[in-house]
Amino acid sequence: MFLSRAEDCMRGARELQDVVQGLGGKPETGGSMSGALHRGWVDVKSVVTNRSDHEILAEREKSEDVAKKRYHDALEKDLPLDVRSILERQYLGVLQNHDSVRDLRDQHAATRR
């Protein structure tokens, strides 16, 4: 599940880079892509380390909180309608990712009691 979501994030980053390039700008190649890769790496690393499921899910939720804030901040700006549409669509995915991770974390915490 986490690797699939990391791939979704990379596709979203590529989509935004294409939009920036289409508008004549120079897209960043480090931030979003490296963030998606980092999340994917954390997911893989967690499988082979001794971290608890709850710790892994709590860390993932923090990453999703950062993504939520970045999208929220971007949507506060005056944007062309086509760009806003892409960001709003991707933001919905970010919210779904966040809520899924939060729910998994809460479910895991409830089973530990």
Q: Is 88's pLDDT higher than 80? A: yes
Domain boundaries, given as residue ranges, for the chain: 2-112
Report the candidate in 95, 83, 75, 77 with the shortest Cα–Cα distance to residue 8: 95
- Based on the number of CB atoms within 10 Å of its own CB, is 14 exposed (0-12), middle (13-18) or buried (19 or more)? middle
What's the predicted TM-score (pTM) here? 0.75
33: Cα separation from own chain's centroid: 10
For residue range 31-56, list pLDDT tens digits in order.
555 565 555 656 555 555 666 777 77
Selected residue with higher pLDDT from 110 and 82: 82
Report the CATH fold assignment for 2-112: Ferritin (1.20.1260)
* The predicted structure's pLDDT at residue 101: 87
pLDDT in tens, 54-66: 777 888 888 888 8
